């Protein structure tokens, strides 16, 4: 079984990862909930200290890459001053995804306050700093968009006042909305104890007997959406995809001047810019994708070469060539090695180097 303490190497702000192109810091943003001003501030930090683009993660967070090693203390201070590092001890366990359109359009309930309460409860509990940094909470407003992907503990709203506390995708405990945060935190404690007895594991699916032994647990039969956040105008917001998950300074600056409300980073590596539906043409001019029929809406890639030393190809160049060829392959992910970092949760075509022969034929000159 995977050991928690010796192999849990997910980066944070205070524990950077050293890649081929420099140090990488990962910033957790619970529920992907931020503001245009904060996003702009983070973009300026990236421009000052490293490679200028912000990299969106599949957990609705951000990474800054190409940084000096050691990471300058001034960068850490700037990230903290921007509100992105509220806890030194818990920064790597604040892994919470949530329905990106909650409170903007659709859903049974606005789960944004729920995410804030869960994050606060997590950070206030010293023992929960011991959760594995791969452990993920998923908070779903009832539409089934984030509980259709892999996660450890979650909440799925049924209506305004009731829902399921979820343990993995298949099991749950019926709970009132008012009691759900406390129950999730208690389940996190129980997971830690069970994990310790098992020698240290990262996920609830590693402990099937523990899951089935929980008080009140039942198998759930919930339906899920696997199509990601819709693009275009949604509830007055602008929903856009960020090609290759790299948000350029020009794109961040345009978001900053067009948003009139919160900005949400989506697990499908897009942005929902509240109140900016009428600014979609300006956002699209910077290369952000608002057309669901664009090949870019269906193509992703791991960071690949030359940034990652494991990579056998320049994944971003191949993905770009694939998009420019007008690919009709459907949902496709390009990986530089078998690890398949950042691959989407739903059905997709995996193009993995060096066996990505279809890709190589389509993008032969992109090396
Ligand atoms: S999939 Fe392989 S090549 Fe791509 S980022 Fe992950 S480790 Fe690097």
Atom of ligand 1 nearest to the CA of 312: 3
Ligand 1 centroid to residue 349 C-alpha, Å: 16
User: 110 pLDDT band (50/70/90 cuts)?
Assistant: very high
Ligand 1 centroid to residue 301 C-alpha, Å: 9
Atom of ligand 1 nearest to the CA of 336: 3
**Which is more confident, 225 or 107?**
107
Query: By percentage, how much of the chain surpasses pLDDT 90?
Result: 79
Position 362 pLDDT exceeds 60:
no
Helices 36-49, 249-258: axis angle to 10 degrees equals 160
Position 102 pLDDT exceeds 50:
yes
Residue of 180, 84, 175, 187 whose CA lies nearest to 131: 187
Ligand 1 centroid to residue 170 C-alpha, Å: 29
Average pLDDT, the chain: 92
108 CB-near residues (< 8 Å, 6+ apart): 141, 142, 143, 157, 158, 159, 160
> Can you give the pLDDT at residue 1?
43
Give dist(CA 176, CA 46) in Å, integer.
Answer: 42
> Can you give the pLDDT at residue 140?
97
Task: Select from 55, 303, 319 the residue to mutate for testing ligand 1; criterion: most ligand atoms less than 8 Å from CB.
Answer: 303
Position 248 pLDDT exceeds 50:
yes
Ligand 1 centroid to residue 259 C-alpha, Å: 34
Ligand 1 centroid to residue 26 C-alpha, Å: 16
> Can you give the pLDDT at residue 360?
54
Burial of 253: CB neighbours in 10 Å, binned 0-12, 13-18, 19+: middle
Atom of ligand 1 nearest to the CA of 309: 8
Q: Which two tokens stand for residue 161?
A: 């006042």
User: 239 pLDDT band (50/70/90 cuts)?
Assistant: very high
> Can you give the pLDDT at residue 159?
97
With H, G, I as helix, E, B as strand and everything else as coil, classify residue 222: coil
Range 348-352 average pLDDT: 90
Give dist(CA 75, CA 92) in Å, integer.
Answer: 17
> Can you give the pLDDT at residue 4?
41
Range 253-259 average pLDDT: 95
Across 19-35, b (16+ Cβ under 10 Å) vs e yields: bebbbbbbbbbbbbbbe
pLDDT tens digits for range 132-167: 999 999 999 999 999 988 999 999 999 999 999 999
User: 11 pLDDT band (50/70/90 cuts)?
Assistant: very high
User: 359 pLDDT band (50/70/90 cuts)?
Assistant: low
> Can you give the pLDDT at residue 358?
52
Q: Which two tokens stand for residue 235?
A: 């509830």
Give dist(CA 334, CA 346) in Å, integer.
Answer: 15
User: 346 pLDDT band (50/70/90 cuts)?
Assistant: confident
Omega prior to 306 cis, within 30 of 0: yes
Q: Whose CA is nearest to atom 2 of ligand 1?
A: 337
> Can you give the pLDDT at residue 365?
46
Q: Which of 73-87, 172-186, 208-222, 332-346 has the lowest mean pLDDT?
A: 332-346
Give dist(CA 344, CA 228) in Å, integer.
Answer: 10
**Which is more confident, 2 or 64?**
64
> Can you give the pLDDT at residue 64?
97
Task: Select from 244, 245, 308, 340 the residue to mutate for testing ligand 1; criterion: most ligand atoms less than 8 Å from CB.
Answer: 308
Helices 73-81, 36-49: axis angle to 10 degrees equals 170
Atom of ligand 1 nearest to the CA of 337: 2
Task: Select from 318, 339, 356 the residue to mutate for testing ligand 1; criterion: most ligand atoms less than 8 Å from CB.
Answer: 339
Give dist(CA 108, CA 118) in Å, integer.
Answer: 19
Cβ pair 28, 92 in contact under 8 A: yes
Ligand 1 centroid to residue 313 C-alpha, Å: 10
Ligand 1 centroid to residue 83 C-alpha, Å: 30
Give dist(CA 14, CA 357) in Å, integer.
Answer: 40
Position 253 pLDDT exceeds 80:
yes
Atom of ligand 1 nearest to the CA of 303: 5
Ligand 1 centroid to residue 340 C-alpha, Å: 6
Ligand 1 centroid to residue 164 C-alpha, Å: 35
Query: What strand order describes the sheet that includes 332-335?
Result: 299-301, 332-335, 349-352
DSSP assignment of 2-48 equals: --HHHH-----SSS-EEETTEEEEEE--GGGEEEHHHHHHHHHHHHH
> Can you give the pLDDT at residue 2?
45
Atom of ligand 1 nearest to the CA of 308: 8
3-state secondary structure labels for all residues of 277-344: HHHHHHHHHCCCECCCCCHHHHEEECCCCCCCCCCCCCHHHHHHHHHHCCCCCCCEEEECCCCCCCCC
Residue of 145, 166, 154 whose CA lies nearest to 216: 166
Ligand 1 centroid to residue 25 C-alpha, Å: 16
> Can you give the pLDDT at residue 65?
96
Ligand 1 centroid to residue 17 C-alpha, Å: 14
Torsion of CA 94, 99, 101, 104, to 10 degrees: -80
pLDDT tens digits for range 265-323: 999 999 999 999 999 999 999 999 999 999 998 899 999 888 888 898 899 999 999 99
Which residues line the pocket of ligand 1, CB cutoff 6 A? 302-304, 308, 310-311, 335-337, 339-341
Asked whether the CA dihedral 324, 326, 329, 330 is positive or negative, the reply is positive
Position 326 pLDDT exceeds 90:
no
Atom of ligand 1 nearest to the CA of 311: 3
Task: Select from 246, 300, 304 the residue to mutate for testing ligand 1; criterion: most ligand atoms less than 8 Å from CB.
Answer: 304
Going from the C-alpha of 204 to that of each of 58, 153, 236, 297, the distances in angstroms are 19, 8, 38, 31
Task: Select from 9, 11, 340, 341 the residue to mutate for testing ligand 1; criterion: most ligand atoms less than 8 Å from CB.
Answer: 341
């Amino acid at each position: 079984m995977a050991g928690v303490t010796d192999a849990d190497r997910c980066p944070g702000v205070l524990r950077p990862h050293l890649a081929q192109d420099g140090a990488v810091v990962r910033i957790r943003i619970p529920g992907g909930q931020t503001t245009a001003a904060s996003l702009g501030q983070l973009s300026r930090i990236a421009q000052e200290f490293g490679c200028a683009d912000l990299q969106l993660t599949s957990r609705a967070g951000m990474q800054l890459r190409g940084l000096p090693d050691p990471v300058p203390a001034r960068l850490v201070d700037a990230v903290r001053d921007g509100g992105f590092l509220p806890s030194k001890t818990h920064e790597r366990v604040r892994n919470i995804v949530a329905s990106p359109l909650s409170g903007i359009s659709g859903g049974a309930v606005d789960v944004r306050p729920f995410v804030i309460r869960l994050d606060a409860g997590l950070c206030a509990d010293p023992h929960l700093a011991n959760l594995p940094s791969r452990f993920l909470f998923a908070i779903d407003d009832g539409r089934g968009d984030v509980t259709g992907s892999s996660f450890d503990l979650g909440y799925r709203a049924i209506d305004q006042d009731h829902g399921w506390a979820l343990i993995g995708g298949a099991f749950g405990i019926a709970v009132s909305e008012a009691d759900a945060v406390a129950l999730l935190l208690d389940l996190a404690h129980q997971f830690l104890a069970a994990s310790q007895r098992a020698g240290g594991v990262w996920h609830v699916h590693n402990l099937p007997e523990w899951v089935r032994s929980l008080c009140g647990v039942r198998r759930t039969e919930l339906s899920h959406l696997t199509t990601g956040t819709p693009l275009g105008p949604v509830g007055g917001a602008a929903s856009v995809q960020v090609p290759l998950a790299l948000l350029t300074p020009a794109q961040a600056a345009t978001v900053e001047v067009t948003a009139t409300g919160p900005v949400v980073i989506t697990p499908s590596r897009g942005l929902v810019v509240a109140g900016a539906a009428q600014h979609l043409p300006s956002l699209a001019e910077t290369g952000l994708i608002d057309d669901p029929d664009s090949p870019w809406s269906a193509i992703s890639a791991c960071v690949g070469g030359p940034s990652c030393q494991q990579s056998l190809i320049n994944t971003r160049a191949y993905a770009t060539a694939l998009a420019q060829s007008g690919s009709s392959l459907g949902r496709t992910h390009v990986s530089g090695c078998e690890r398949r970092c950042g691959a989407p949760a739903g059905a997709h075509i995996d193009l993995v180097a060096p066996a990505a022969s279809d890709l190589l034929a389509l993008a032969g000159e992109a090396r």
